[in-house]
Amino acid sequence: MTMLYQTQRAMRNQRLAAMQRGVVAILDVGTSKIACLILRFDGVTPNSATEGVGAMSGQSRFRVIGVATTRSRGVKFGEIETMEETERAIRTAVQAAQKMASIRVDHVIACFSGARPRSYGLAGSVDLHEKAVSEHDIARVLSACDVPDYGRNRQVVHALPVNFALDHRSGLSDPRGQIGNRLSVDMHLLTVDQAAVENLLHCIKRCDLELAGIASSAYASGVSSLIEDEQELGAACIELGGGATSISIFIRKHMIFADSVRMGGAHITSDISQGLQVPMPMAERIKTFYGGVEATGMDDREMIDIGGETGDWEHDRRQVSRAELIGVMRPRVEEILEEVRARLDAAGFDHLPSQRIVLTGGGSQIPGLDSLAARILGQQVRLGRPLRVQGLPQAATGPAFSSAVGLCLIAAHPQDECWDFEIPMDRYAGRSLRRAVKWFRENW
C-alpha cells in the first residue's frame, strides 16, 4: 500500500498543479465512447444568491470549456484491450476538446468502469496521546487500519475514510479538535486490477498527458447522479454503461460499496446483432431507435426495416416487428438487472434505511427500463441524469455523461482520501527495520 500511497500522492500533487494552472481535462474511458471534458477553474466564489443551497459541492467554481466524445476503440468491459487503438481514441477526444477550448491541457483526471472493482470495509482504532484529536492522530488511525490481503495484482484506487468514532460517539465526519480517548475509523477501500490501471496510465502517458487522479466510474456517476438527500440517506447508483454496469452505494455522503457487473449495452447490441442477423453498427442503431423492454400490442404491428447490403433482394428487405426486437433485448436487460440485484444483496443493501435506486448511464435510456427495474430491484427506482454543471453543452447532459460529470465534481471538490494525510513516521521506521531484517536473512 505504501507504493500506491506514493503514486496517489504524486497524483494529488499533479492535481494541485493543474488547479494552479486552472485547466484540467476529464477523461471518461468507456467501452462505447471516450469523453473528454476540459474544465477551467477561475476561483470564482459561489454566487451569494445560491448560498442558501449549500456548498454546491464546489461546482460553481469551474466551467466546462471544451467537450468532445469519440467512439471508443479497443476497450472491452471497461478495460483497455488494445493499447494503440485506445491511445488513438484518447488522442482524438483530447484534441477535439482542446480545439473547442482553444487551450492546451497537460493534466488529466481519468475514470474507468471495469477492472473488477472490489470493496473492503476497514476498521482501525488508536489511543489518543493528547485529549484533542489532531491531524496527526487521523493519519495514525488511518494507517492503523488492518489492510486485508487483496491480492498482489490489485491496486487501491479509493481509500475513503467513511466514519470516525470517538470513544462511544460514532458518525463523526471531522473529529479534529474534539476531546476523547480512543479514535476509531471506518474506511472504505476500493481495489481494482493493477493491469487495467497500468494500461490506462500508459495510454495517457503516451498522449503526453499527466495523470492527475483516477477514479472508479461507479463512484463518479454516484456523485453526479444522486441528489444530496439520496447521498445522505442511502441510495444505490447503477450506471448501465457500454461494457460494464457499475454499482455504487452511498450513505451519509460517502460511498460505502462499489462493484461492477461485466455486462452492459454492448452485450444487448451483440444480442440484437446475433438474433436479427445484422451487423453491429446497424444493431446499435436499431437499439437506440426502436429499443425497449416492455412489449405492447402496438409493437407487434410496427415493422422495422433491418436491411442489408448483400444485393440479395429478399435478404436486404427483411423486416422484424418491434416486439421481436424487445424479445431479444429484454432477457439480456433482465439478466443484467438480476446480476445487479445479486450484487446489491451481497452488499447488504436491504439493510440500509433507504432503498432508493438510481439508474443512469447510456443504457438507462432504454424505454420502459424503469418499470422493469422496479420489478427486479424494488419499488424505489428512478432514472437519474447527472447534475447540471456550468458550460456543459446540451448534447453532453444526458445520463451517458454521468461519470464524466461526476469526475468534474470530484476534481473540483475532492473527498479526503487516506493519502491526503501524512503517513506517520513510525510506519516508515518499521518498514526500514523489517527491510534490514530481511536483508540479514537473505545474506546470512
Partner 1 sequence: MQPMKPFKARRDPAPSKTSYRFQRLWLTPVFRSILRTGVPAFTILAAVVWYLSDDARVDALREHAADLRASVEQRPEFMVNLMRIENVSEEVAEDIREITAVDFPVSSFDLDLALMRANIEELDAVAQASLVVRAGGILDVEVVERVPAIVWRGREALELLDVTGHRVTPIEARGDRQDLQLIAGDGADVVVPEALELLAAAQPISNRIRGLLRVGERRWDLVLDRNQRIMLPEADAVTALERVLALNTINELLSRDLVIVDLRDARRPTLRLGVEAQEFLFQISNDKAKDDA
Helix/strand/coil for 70: strand
Q: Which three cell numbers stand for residue 393?
A: 453543452
Q: Is 108 in the site for partner 1 (CB under 8 A)?
A: no
Q: Is 82 in the site for partner 1 (CB under 8 A)?
A: no
Report if residue 270 touches partner 1, rule: CB under 8 A: no
Give the count of beta carbons closer than 10 Å to the beta carbon of residue 362: 22
Q: Which stretch, 67-75, 126-134, 237-245, 249-257, contacts partner 1 (CB under 8 A)?
A: 67-75
Least distance from partner 1 to the Cβ atom of residue 316, Å: 12
Q: How far, in Å, CA of 344 to CA of 361, rounded?
A: 18
Of the listed pieces 99-107, 127-135, 323-331, 380-388, which binds partner 1 according to CB under 8 A?
99-107
Q: 114, 244 in Cβ contact below 8 A?
A: yes
Residues in 412-441 that interact with partner 1 by CB under 8 A:
none
Selected binder of partner 1 within 71, 182, 252, 434 (CB under 8 A) = 71
Separation in Å, CA 103 to CA 27, 42, 66, 194, 346: 16, 14, 9, 32, 46
Beta bridge partners, 28, equal 35, 111
429: cell is 521506521
- Please pick, from the candidates 100, 123, 207, 376, the single residue that binds partner 1 as defined by CB under 8 A: 207
Cβ nearer to partner 1, comparing 95 with 178: 95
Q: Rounded to an integer, what distance in angstroms lies between the CA atom of residue 235 and that of residue 380?
A: 10
- Single out the segment in contact with partner 1 by CB under 8 A; choices: 1-9, 90-98, 182-190, 421-429: 90-98
Task: Name the residue nearer to partner 1 (CB basis): 3 or 395.
Answer: 395
Write out the three cell numbers for 295: 412489449
- φ/ψ (deg, to 5) at 282: -65, -40
Residue 428 Cα distances to 128, 285, 434, angstroms: 20, 56, 10
Which residues ranging from 300 to 329 are in contact with partner 1 (CB under 8 A)? 302, 304-305, 307
Segment near partner 1 (CB under 8 A); pick from 10-18, 101-109, 185-193, 429-437: 101-109
Among 48, 102, 310, 394, binds partner 1 (CB under 8 A): 102
- With 0-12 / 13-18 / 19 or more C-beta atoms within 10 angstroms meaning exposed / middle / buried, residue 196 is buried
Complex with partner 1: residue 58 or 74, whichever CB lies closer: 74
Number of amino acids touching partner 1 (CB under 8 A) = 26
Q: Which amino acid is at 295?
A: A
Residues 6+ apart with CB under 8 A from 202: 83
Smallest distance, partner 1 to C-beta of residue 206, A: 9
* Residue 85 or 334 having the CB closest to partner 1: 85
Contact between 285 and partner 1 by CB under 8 A: the answer reads yes
CA distance 182 to 298: 66
Residue with Cβ nearer partner 1 (99 or 431): 99
- Chain residues binding partner 1 by CB under 8 A are 70-71, 73, 88-89, 91-92, 94-95, 98-99, 102-104, 207-208, 281-282, 285-286, 289-290, 302, 304-305, 307
